[in-house]
Amino acid sequence: MAWFLSNLRYVAWTALAVGALFLIYFAMGVAGYAFGDSVFWEALWRWTHVLVAIMWIGHLYYFNFTQIPNMAKIPDEQKPAIGKVIAPAALFWFRWGAMATLVTGLALAGNQGYLVQALTLGAMDDPSFAVPKHILIGIGMWLAIIMWFNVWFIIWPNQQKALNIANRYPDLDAAAKAAAGKTAMLFSRTNTFLSVPMLVAMTGASTLF
């Protein structure tokens, strides 16, 4: 068993295959939906959406609750292990997790037929009867879209400067690097803040309405 568990690729792909079979068994075998049914796709998008959201927010929380608070305790000569190896690898899964979360989230809303109604916060519904679910999930989607924007257009470009990832900024001086790192940290902390109310909307939309 160790030969299997020691190989991350084997574990990740097998877990995905088992998850997919599990979904197909319950959606088609037990619940009786056909492959093309909208509910089948909703189940698939929901599963993949939460899966990739864990990848994104898991790394966000790693940065904010583990890496950043402990950097000061690491001796300077050991800091490159984090800055040159761990952080760039974490940033890869972090930013692509964010992208996949956005795509699957929009697909999930589109699949349920309320993408435009949610993004316009119920304004496209009958004015006398704005659907509360559209308002709530719309707020959550906009909070998460702001977070996605912060990742791709503020945190990632600034981290590339702060850590000189892929040697893109070899000539940046220490002050400019520190400023970029500070900006990335502040927006990362903003996302940590936004993630909490955002999740009320994500999880509450199907529970409350």
Tell me if 111 sits within 8 A of 102, measured CB to CB: no
Query: From the CB of 189, what's the least distance to ligand HEM, in Å?
Result: 16
Query: From the CB of 33, what's the least distance to ligand HEM, in Å?
Result: 16
First to last CA, the chain: 45
Query: From the CB of 129, what's the least distance to ligand HEM, in Å?
Result: 18
Q: Which of 109, 116, 108 is nearest to 44 (CA)?
A: 108
Which residue lies nearer to ligand HEM by CB, 48 or 158? 48
List, in order, residues 6 or more apart from 123 with CB less than 8 Å away. Answer: 130
Q: Which of 16, 63, 47, 48 is nearest to 195 (CA)?
A: 63
Which tokens sit at 94?
A: 């972090």
Which residue lies nearer to ligand HEM by CB, 82 or 131? 131
Tell me if 117 sits within 8 A of 179, measured CB to CB: no
Tell me if 88 sits within 8 A of 165, measured CB to CB: yes
Query: From the CB of 185, what's the least distance to ligand HEM, in Å?
Result: 19
Which residue lies nearer to ligand HEM by CB, 112 or 164? 112
Name the residue number minimizing CB distance to ligand HEM.
Answer: 105
Contacts with ligand HEM, residue ranges (CB under 6 A): 46, 49-50, 53, 56-57, 101-102, 105-106, 108-109, 112, 137, 141, 144-145, 148, 199, 202-203, 205-206
Which residue lies nearer to ligand HEM by CB, 138 or 181? 138
